[in-house]
Amino acid sequence: MYDPRVEKLAKLLVHYSLGIKEGDKLIIQSSALAEPLMEAAYKEAILAGAHVDTMLSMANAAEILYKHASDEQLKYISPLSEVASRDYDASLRIMASSNTKALSGVDSQRISLHRQANAELQKRFMERAASGELRWTLTAYPTNAAAQDANMSLQEYSDFVYGAGLLDYDDPVAQWRRIEAQQNKICEFLDTKSELRYVAQDTDISMGIAGRKWINCAGHENFPDGEVFTGPVEDSVNGHIRFSFPGIFSGKEIEDIRLEFKDGKVVKARAAKGEELLHALLETDAGAKYVGEVAIGTNFGIQKFTRNMLFDEKIGGTVHLALGAAYPESGGKNQSGIHWDMLCDMRDGGEIYVDGEVIYRDGKFLDF
Q: What is the pLDDT of residues 6-51, one digit of tens each?
A: 999 999 999 999 999 999 999 999 999 999 999 999 999 999 999 9
Q: Domain for residue 137, yes or no?
A: yes
Section 320-331 average pLDDT: 97
Whether 185 and 157 map to the same domain: the answer is no
Q: Quick check: 1 pLDDT over 80?
A: no
Q: For residues 74-99, give the mean pLDDT.
A: 95
Same domain, 67 and 213: no
Largest CA distance in the chain: 55
| pLDDT tens-place string over residues 141-192 | 999 999 999 999 999 999 999 999 999 999 999 999 999 999 999 999 999 9
Percent of the chain with pLDDT over 90: 95
**Is residue 169, in this structure, part of any structural domain at all?**
no
Helices 119-131 and 79-86, axial angle in degrees (round to 10): 20
Q: State the average pLDDT over residues 302-309.
A: 94
Provide the 10 A C-beta neighbour count for residue 95.
18
Question: Looking at the predicted structure, is the pLDDT value of residue 297 above 90?
Answer: yes
Say whether 332 sits in a helix, a strand or coil. Answer: coil
Separation of alpha carbons 232 and 214, rounded Å: 10
Average pLDDT rounded to a whole number, residues 116-128: 93
Residues 17 and 127 both lie in one domain: yes
Span 329-355, pLDDT tens digits: 999 999 999 999 999 999 999 999 999
- pLDDT score recorded for residue 2: 77
120 & 191 share domain:
no
Q: How many domains does the structure of the chain reveal? A: 2
Q: Assess if residue 67 is contained within a domain.
A: yes
User: Which strands form 238-242's sheet, in the order they lie side by side?
Assistant: 265-270, 258-262, 238-242, 203-208, 195-200, 351-354, 357-361, 364-365
Are 69 and 195 in the same domain? Answer: no
What is the structure's pLDDT at 16? 98
> Do 278 and 216 fall into the same domain?
yes
Choosing from 124, 143, 164, the residue where a domain stops is: 164
The last residue of one of the domains, among 137, 164, 191, is 164
> In this structure, are 279 and 133 located in the same domain?
no
> Both 308 and 187 in a single domain?
yes
Q: What is the DSSP letter of 330?
A: G
- CATH number of the structural domain spanning residue 99: 3.40.1830.10
Burial grade of 184 (CB within 10 A; 0-12, 13-18, 19 or more)? middle
195 and 136: one domain? no
Q: CA-CA distance, 297 to 147, in Å (whole number)?
A: 22
Residue 239 lies inside a defined structural domain of this protein: yes
120: containing domain = 4-164
Residue 298 has pLDDT above 90, yes or no: yes
Mean of per-residue pLDDT scores for the chain: 96
Domain-located, residue 85 = yes
CB 66 within 8 A of CB 107: yes
Are 74 and 44 part of one and the same domain? yes
Q: What is the 3-state secondary structure (H, E, C) of 179-217?
A: HHHHHHHHHHHHCCCCEEEEEECCEEEEEECCCCCCEEE
**Are residues 63 and 209 both part of a single domain?**
no
Please tell me whether residues 202 and 336 are part of one structural domain.
Answer: yes
Q: Would you say residue 358 has pLDDT above 70?
A: yes
**Is 354 inside any structural domain?**
yes
Among 164, 193, 224, identify where a domain stops: 164
Specify the pLDDT at position 344: 97
The dihedral over CA atoms of 38, 40, 43, 45, expressed in degrees to the nearest 10, equals -70
108 pLDDT tier (thresholds 50, 70, 90)? confident
Percentage of residues of the chain with pLDDT beyond 70:
100
